[in-house]
Amino acid sequence: MKGALNNILEAMGNTPIVKLNSLARDVSSNVFIKCEFMNPGGSVKDRPALQMIEDYEADGSLKPGGTIVEATSGNTGMGLAMAAAIKGYRCVFVMPDKMSNEKILALRAFGARVMVTPTDVGPDDPRSYYKVAEKTVADTPNAVLANQYHNPSNPKAHVLSTGPEIWEQTGGEVDAVVICMGTGGTISGIGKYLKSQNPDVKIVGVDPVGSIFYDYFRTGRLTTAHSYKVEGFGEDFLPGTMDFDVVDDVVRVTDKESFLWTRRLVREEGVFAGGSSGSAVCGAIKWASKQLEPLNILTILPDGAARYLSKIFDDNWMRENGFLDPEYAGSVGDVMAQRPHKVVSITSSETIQAVVALMKTHEVSQIPILDGERITGLVTEVDLLKTLVDGSNSGDLPVSKVAGTDFAVLEPRNSAALLGEVLAQDKTVIVQDAGHVVGVLTKIDLIDFISQRMRSNN
């Protein structure tokens, strides 16, 4: 019949671009969304899933009747399962236990085997979903690991399809694209293509609090990851498919911001999208609010809402997890103003003995280490104490030998609620404004701030 497609895979792509109205009313830029949840498998991951299968078929790795194994948060699994159903492959998916039950049931609906593993373990732990997937491939004859975190077919899909699509749909009239970062395939592929057309296009990443990407982009150092509730993006390691060379800026969002913006996206714009989509819109508005001139900003909405009905759109779940409680008002800058103190910083070549003297003189318990304006580490009194107790003549060692990376970088304009989430992860917060370190905050600073606000309200 005329106009009919040969199979569901041919329905992939050409997802619409839509302007945001209500949610973008407070910024001067035009903010648009690309509705990737309208792909047939329900997410942006349809594109790399098919590309990975086709490339494995082309090089002979995937043979007829074979098995596709993948560690997935759900969306890549859906894309792989959809393509496998058409092509006659079996699928085994390994998912962390924080993922919604809807995702697990959807994958099983395709006939896939789903294995659930603990979320709060390191990537090298044999119980992690990465390691379980690798073992499953080794134990399964005629199996391949889709390996979205390191497979070049992942970003390649966006170089070949999503990037050119955006350029054609916008007529090149796009100034910035805001994209959630997980495997890095979407942001790396789109960024590579768009910058090949116009090097001035800004590529902006969005990262959840608890993930490592924001701090790595700011400091070049890998910090300790912590768990978070929002699904589908953020990581605790650097995937091989993540190319920071095409990333111009990164903004950070909290779980609470992600979920509340997702609900607003549905209720104010009529866009039935999921948690990472709310995160993307929140990140785009945050970034737009810092721009000095109006721009055309596009953000990618990765997936739809149907897989999150038992979580984000369930008031009881939201309330039980503290996401419907009112935030305490104020910003990071307000917290700093409440407890003003001089910023002390050092270079990596300073000796431990010199740093001890600085801490004593300025009555501080932690000092950031700077290379020019780049933050390369943080030394605390605990770090110094361990070294001085354990080693002989350690006072002459450069402080870089004992510096830690368990810190987070925030800006004065960030909310005090975000500061609270980061401090709850036992991180020290270094405050940076326009590239300059302007403060260091710890739990007691926020405790004093909240206490004083409570007293003034009584």
Q: Give the torsion sign (CA, 302, 307, 309, 312).
A: negative
The token pair that represents 329 in the structure block: 């008002």
**Distance of alpha carbon 74 from alpha carbon 107, whole angstroms:** 8
Place of tokens 């648009």: 32
Residue ranges in 307-437 assigned as alpha helix (H): 315-320, 332-338, 352-362, 381-390, 416-423
Residue 93, CB-side half-sphere exposure with 13 Å CA sphere: 31
3 state DSSP class of 296: strand
Handedness of CA 415, 330, 264, 292 (dihedral sign): negative
Q: Give the whole-angstrom CA distance, residue 121 versus residue 130.
A: 11
Does residue 181 sit in helix, strand or coil?
coil
Contact between 158 and 167 under an 8 Å Cβ cutoff? The reply is no
**CA-angle at 289, arms to 413 and 184, nearest 5°:** 90
Which residue in the list 2, 34, 45, 192 is annotated as catalytic?
Answer: 45
CA distances from 146 to 80, 130, 186, 245 (A): 9, 11, 16, 24
Instruction: Look up 45 and say whether it is catalytic.
Output: yes
Is 252:258 a contact under the CB 8 Å cutoff? no
Which residues are CB-contacts of 289 (< 8 A; sequence separation ≥ 6)?
Answer: 26, 27
CB contact set of 407 (below 8 Å; sequence gap of 6+): 215, 223, 368, 375, 378, 427, 428, 429, 430
What's the CA gap between 100 and 126, in Å, rounded? 23
> Which DSSP state fits 148?
T
31: β partners:
297
Maximum CA extent, the chain: 84
Report residue 347 as tokens: 């270079």
Q: Give the angle 299-305-310 at the CA atoms, nearest 5°.
A: 140
Q: How far apart are CA 170 and CA 187, in angstroms?
A: 18
Catalytic residues, which ones?
45
